[in-house]
Amino acid sequence: MERLDKFLSDAGVASRRELKALLKTGVVQVNGRPMIDGAVKLDPAHDTVLLRGEPVEAPRRVVLLLHKPAGFVTSTDDPRDRTVMELIPPRYLRQGVVPVGRLDKETEGLLLLTNDGELAHRLISPRHGVEKRYYARHAGTAGEEDVAAFAAGLTLRDGTLCRPALLRPLGPGESEITVTEGKYHQVRRMMASRSMTVTYLRREQEGTLSLDGLPCGETRELSEAEIALLVREKANSSAPAPQGEG
Ligand code: URA
C-alpha cells in the first residue's frame, strides 16, 4: 500500500507540492471516485487511478526500441535540432526514458531508450561490447583488402585503433559492417580510412535485437523477456576493453 500523492509523483504526474493543488481540483479518481486527499492509501497492483479520465501507470522499468529517422539528434534537449525525444509517445516520456548511447544526426536505425539508469550504464559500458550491425551505402566498392583490414583492426586517420570488425561487401557501393564498440562517428570514420565515404548509414541490429520491420520513426516497447536477454548478453560478452572513448 502506498500514498496516492507518492504514487502520482513517482509516476511523473507532478511534484508532491504541485499535487496538493491538483488533487483539490478533483481531476484524480481512484476506482471511479474523485479523490482529493493525497494521504489516502492505495494498492497500485489492484486500484485504478485516473487523471482527467486517463489511466496513470505505476512507475516501472521501460526499455524502448526506436527506429530513428535521419535528421534527429540523439539528445534530450537541443537548441537547434529536433531530438529523438520528439518521436517518443508522451506516456513513455512521462516514465522518464532517455537514449542509451547515440546515433549520429544523419544515421538511421535501432536506438534504445530506457528509464533504468543502471541498465543504461551497463548497456553502454565499453567493456561489454555487444555486436552492432550497420548497413551502409558509400563511395567506391569494398574489396578483399578492405575486409582484411577491418578484420585486423583498423587505424583511423587520426591514429585511433579499432577492435577487429566485420566488413561484408554487398555489391557496388553497399556494405554491411559489424562492430563491437561505439566510438564517435565510428563506422563513417572506419569506412573513410579505406577511402569509402559513407552516404547513408542505418543500424539494423544490436545483439539479439533488430529493427525487424519496425517502420522508421516508430517505437516498440521491449518485453521483460527481451530485456532479460539483453542483460544476459551483456554479462556474457567477453570483448576486451577498447581504446579511446568506446
Ligand atoms: N557509426 C557512425 O559513424 N555513426 C553512427 O551513428 C553510428 C556508428
The 3-state DSSP class for residue 75 equals coil
Of 81, 104, 146, 212, the catalytic one is: 104
pLDDT band at residue 10, thresholds of 50, 70 and 90? confident
Atom of ligand 1 nearest to the CA of 203: 7
Atom of ligand 1 nearest to the CA of 104: 6
Contacts of 216 (CB under 8 A, 6+ apart): 67, 68, 69, 108
Q: Spelled out in words, what is the top-level CATH class assigned to the domain 2-55?
A: alpha beta
State whether the beta carbon of 103 lies less than 6 angstroms from ligand 1.
yes
Q: Give the percent of the chain with pLDDT over 90.
A: 71
Q: Which residue has the cell 489516502?
A: 40
pLDDT at position 121 is 85
115 Cα: distance to centroid of ligand 1 (angstroms):
23
Q: What is the pLDDT of residues 100-142, one digit of tens each?
A: 999 999 999 999 999 999 888 888 876 667 899 999 999 999 9
Spans of all domains in the chain? 2-55, 63-126+212-236, 132-206
pLDDT mean over 62-81:
97
Q: Spelled out in words, what is the top-level CATH class assigned to the domain 132-206?
A: alpha beta
CB 189 within 8 A of CB 182: no
Atom of ligand 1 nearest to the CA of 190: 3
Q: How far is CA 45 from CA 103, 137, 198, in A?
A: 37, 49, 50
> Is 70 exceeded by the pLDDT of residue 244?
no
> Is 50 exceeded by the pLDDT of residue 246?
no
Residue 158 class from Cβ within 10 Å (0-12 exposed, 13-18 middle, 19+ buried)? Answer: exposed
For a ligand 1 pocket test, name from 131, 162, 188, 196 the mutation site with the most ligand atoms within 8 angstroms of its C-beta.
188
State whether the beta carbon of 186 lies less than 6 angstroms from ligand 1.
yes
212 is a catalytic site residue: no
Q: Which residue has the cell 496513470?
A: 56
Atom of ligand 1 nearest to the CA of 103: 6
CB 8 within 8 A of CB 28: yes
**What are the backbone dihedrals phi and psi of residue 10, each rounded to the nearest 5 degrees, phi first?**
-65, -30
With CA atoms as reference, report the closest residue to 11 among 55, 63, 61, 56. Answer: 56
Q: What is the pTM of this model?
A: 0.81
Strands 63-68 and 54-55: unpaired
For 90-122, b/e burial (b = at least 16 CB within 10 A) is: eebbebebbbbebbbbebbbbbbbbbbeebbeb
Q: Give the percent of the chain with pLDDT over 70.
A: 93
pLDDT at position 127 is 67
CATH code of the domain occupying 63-126+212-236: 3.30.70.580
State whether the beta carbon of 107 lies less than 6 angstroms from ligand 1.
yes
pLDDT mean over 12-24:
87
Task: Say yes or no: do domains 63-126+212-236 and 132-206 share a fold.
Answer: yes
For a ligand 1 pocket test, name from 158, 187, 191, 206 the mutation site with the most ligand atoms within 8 angstroms of its C-beta.
187
State whether the beta carbon of 66 lies less than 6 angstroms from ligand 1.
no
What average pLDDT does the structure give for the chain?
91
Grid cell locating 204:
539494423
CB atoms within 10 A of CB 1: 8
